[in-house]
């Protein structure tokens, strides 16, 4: 049964995706005495460093994915990566394997178009204006309907890959092709979205766990995050957020409604946008711990990864509390290198309250996230000041 605690029987989980989030999931599972197997598309992925066993396969190859799950017979399968064959997950779930959070939730969340349709049409959550396009001609009409400037995004992608800003009709075809080039899988559909003037962005970490025969849904106080203008992946996050209580209540309501609709067990990262004209909009949701939630390694009594593992194992999690103001800043590479080296760590660690977490990726390329700096302070402003100072010191270099 979905809610049965695994520690009463099975003790093996498989993590599909071995990035920095998978690594923290693996560490928390190890602490619970659980056997950990990691699967990813390349060798020496971060989570493989702390796993009992690992496999390297094409994650879009459904037959390969199903063969490994059937061979290892994990008690829970945890998804961490966007580029994955979701139809294979549905088949495995139908065979009786426990997919976390559940196979259908993963399939919907990995598909930007299906997720938007669920949010705006079924749940009636406010979103940006949008339209779907299958080719450059449809994209041109969609951009005209949505209005310029607008965004073209692949149906399936992650971390901002393939997000293109379109400012006039002459750019549409090239931007469409660029978005498709970065798409996950074989889809050639895109979503065209209204380009909004963002004031603040929130991640509402929302989790579901079994309790006394039912499922409880709970939220962690929202995390505020930001990215430089024109960059579509987060750079900084801090906890707690600076937004008003009314906005927090609205954001949490959107998150709970979405996560309850998706169902299953585990933590979801629900992204909320607050525009400069005062709108609170649902944006996206990740069916796993969220990048911005790395700050919970410093800010909360129970971090997002432990919450996810507890839920996957069928164990409860009481209300998570923010115990100290904290901030996080990613360490980005600006060059390509194998076995890169890091400079400035010694100096950064002289700042009180600062921690450096290197992900252990075997190679770097421009814009790749190679680590995260965490900082605590008596206030959020103090934590942000510390983390920015440390981030200005630590650099990724070629060996």
CATH number of the domain that residue 368 is part of: 3.30.470.20
| Number of neighbouring beta carbons within 10 Å of residue 297 | 18
Would residue 142 count as lying in a domain?
yes
Residue 271 marked ligand-binding: yes
Would residue 111 count as lying in a domain?
no
Residue 388 marked ligand-binding: no
Query: Residues 189, 227: one domain?
Result: no
Q: Examine the residue annotation and report whether 292 is marked as an active-site residue of this protein.
A: yes
Would residue 189 count as lying in a domain?
yes
- Catalytic site residue from 91, 120, 141, 160: 160
Query: Residues 173, 255: one domain?
Result: no
Which portions of the chain are predicted below pLDDT 70? 1-10, 157-160, 185-186, 228-233
Residue 193 marked ligand-binding: yes
Query: Residues 204, 317: one domain?
Result: yes
Q: Which of 281, 296, 323 is the last residue of a domain?
A: 323
Residue 255, token pair as written in the block: 């998150």
Q: Are 398 and 383 in contact (CB under 8 A)?
A: no
End-to-end CA separation in angstroms for the chain:
50
- Catalytic site residue from 19, 369, 376, 377: 369
Would residue 300 count as lying in a domain?
yes
Q: Examine the residue annotation and report whether 171 is marked as an active-site residue of this protein.
A: no
Query: Residues 316, 386: one domain?
Result: no
Residue 249 marked ligand-binding: no
The reported pLDDT for the residue numbered 77 is: 97
Per residue in 329-368, pLDDT tens? 999 999 999 999 999 999 999 999 999 999 999 999 998 9
Burial label for 341, CB within 10 Å (0-12, 13-18, 19+), is: exposed
Q: How far apart are CA 377 and CA 295, in angstroms?
A: 13
Query: Residues 185, 172: one domain?
Result: yes
Q: Are 237 and 330 in contact (CB under 8 A)?
A: no
Residue 277 marked ligand-binding: no
- Catalytic site residue from 236, 284, 317, 364: 284
- Catalytic site residue from 79, 271, 288, 317: 271
- Catalytic site residue from 75, 252, 291, 304: 291
Query: Residues 348, 381: one domain?
Result: yes
Would residue 109 count as lying in a domain?
no
CATH number of the domain that residue 73 is part of: 3.40.50.20
Residue 201 marked ligand-binding: yes
Backbone angles phi, psi at 390, to 5 degrees: -65, -40
Query: Residues 174, 146: one domain?
Result: yes
Would residue 383 count as lying in a domain?
yes
Would residue 110 count as lying in a domain?
no
Q: How far apart are CA 365 and CA 280, in angstroms?
A: 35
The reported pLDDT for the residue numbered 182 is: 77
Q: Examine the residue annotation and report whether 271 is marked as an active-site residue of this protein.
A: yes
Residue 28 marked ligand-binding: no
Determine how β-strand 35-40 pairs with β-strand 12-16.
Answer: parallel
The reported pLDDT for the residue numbered 158 is: 63
**Helix/strand/coil percent split, the chain, to 5:** 35, 30, 40
- Catalytic site residue from 127, 206, 292, 311: 292
DSSP conformation class of 352 = T
Q: Examine the residue annotation and report whether 217 is marked as an active-site residue of this protein.
A: no
Q: How far apart are CA 337 and CA 326, in angstroms?
A: 31
DSSP conformation class of 342 = E
Q: Examine the residue annotation and report whether 160 is marked as an active-site residue of this protein.
A: yes
The reported pLDDT for the residue numbered 1 is: 46
Query: Residues 314, 399: one domain?
Result: no
Q: Are 46 and 53 in contact (CB under 8 A)?
A: no
Q: Which of 323, 345, 362 is the last residue of a domain?
A: 323
Query: Residues 317, 248: one domain?
Result: yes
Query: Residues 187, 208: one domain?
Result: no
Query: Residues 305, 330: one domain?
Result: no
Residue 358 marked ligand-binding: no
For residue 154, the enclosing domain spans 129-194
Per residue in 52-96, pLDDT tens? 999 999 999 999 999 999 999 999 999 998 789 999 999 999 999
Residue 20 marked ligand-binding: yes
Would residue 161 count as lying in a domain?
yes
Query: Residues 331, 385: one domain?
Result: yes
CATH number of the domain that residue 148 is part of: 3.30.1490.20
How many domains are contained in the chain? 4
């Amino acid at each position: 049964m979905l809610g049965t605690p695994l520690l009463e029987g099975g003790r093996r989980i498989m993590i599909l995706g071995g990035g920095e989030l998978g690594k923290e999931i693996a560490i928390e599972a190890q602490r619970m005495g659980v056997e950990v197997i990691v699967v990813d598309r390349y060798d020496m992925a971060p989570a493989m460093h702390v796993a009992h066993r690992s496999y390297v396969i094409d994650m879009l190859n459904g037959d390969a994915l199903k063969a490994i799950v059937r061979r290892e017979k994990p008690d829970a399968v945890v998804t961490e990566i966007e580029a994955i064959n979701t139809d294979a997950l549905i088949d495995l779930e139908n065979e009786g394997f426990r997919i976390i959070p559940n196979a259908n939730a993963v399939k919907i969340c990995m598909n930007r178009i299906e997720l938007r349709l669920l949010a705006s049409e079924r749940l009636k959550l406010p979103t940006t204006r949008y339209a779907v396009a299958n080719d450059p001609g449809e994209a041109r009409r969609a951009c005209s309907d949505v209005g310029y400037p607008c965004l073209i995004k692949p149906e399936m992608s992650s971390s901002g890959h393939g997000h293109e800003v379109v400012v006039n009709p002459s750019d549409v075809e090239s931007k469409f092709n660029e978005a498709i080039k970065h798409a996950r899988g074989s889809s050639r559909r895109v979503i065209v979205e209204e380009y909004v003037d963002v004031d603040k962005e929130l991640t509402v970490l929302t989790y579901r766990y079994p309790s006394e025969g039912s499922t409880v849904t709970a939220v962690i106080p929202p995390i505020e995050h930001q990215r430089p203008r024109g960059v579509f992946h987060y750079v900084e996050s801090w906890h707690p957020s600076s937004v008003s209580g009314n906005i927090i209540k609205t954001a949490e309501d959107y998150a709970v409604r979405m996560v309850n609709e998706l169902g299953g067990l585990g933590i979801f990262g629900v992204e909320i946008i607050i525009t400069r004209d005062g709108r609170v909009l649902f944006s996206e949701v990740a069916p796993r711990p969220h990048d911005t939630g790395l700050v919970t390694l410093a800010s909360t009594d129970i971090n997002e990864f432990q919450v996810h593992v507890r839920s996957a194992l069928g164990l409860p999690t009481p209300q998570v509390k923010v115990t100290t103001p904290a901030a996080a800043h990613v360490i980005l590479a600006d060059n390509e290198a194998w076995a890169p080296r890091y400079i400035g760590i010694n100096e950064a660690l002289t700042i009180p309250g600062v921690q450096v977490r290197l992900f252990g990726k075997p190679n770097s390329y421009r814009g790749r996230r190679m680590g995260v700096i965490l900082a605590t302070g008596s206030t959020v402003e103090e934590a942000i000041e510390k983390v920015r100072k440390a981030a200005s010191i630590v650099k990724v270099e070629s060996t």
